[in-house]
Every structure is written in structure tokens, then in C-alpha cells.
Amino acid sequence: GGKIHQLTGVPSAFTPDYAPEEMFEIAEKLYRKSR
């Protein structure tokens, strides 16, 4: 392997920016599809 480069970026690009009720709705849909 080679050297690991320290990458700079935007941390918020990796965190979802959803409201709690939107997260609940998404989780509900995923749960229903998994059953």
C-alpha cells in the first residue's frame, strides 16, 4: 500500500439533513418493504 492522504471535504455531505418526522417516514417505508 501507499501513503494515506488526508482528504479535506465537507463533513455535512455525509450526514442526512432530514427532519425527525421525515426520518420516521423513511424508516417506516423501509420497514414495510423489508417484510
Q: Which pLDDT does position 31 carry in this prediction?
A: 96
Q: Is 12 exposed, middle or buried (0-12, 13-18, 19+ CB in 10 A)?
A: exposed
pLDDT at 13: 67
Q: Give the pTM.
A: 0.48
> For the chain, which residues score pLDDT lower than 50?
none
CA–chain centroid gap for 8, Å, is 19
Asked if residue 17 belongs to a domain, the reply is yes
Query: Which range marks the domain in which residue 23 is found?
Result: 8-34
Domain count, the chain: 1
Q: Is residue 26 part of a domain?
A: yes
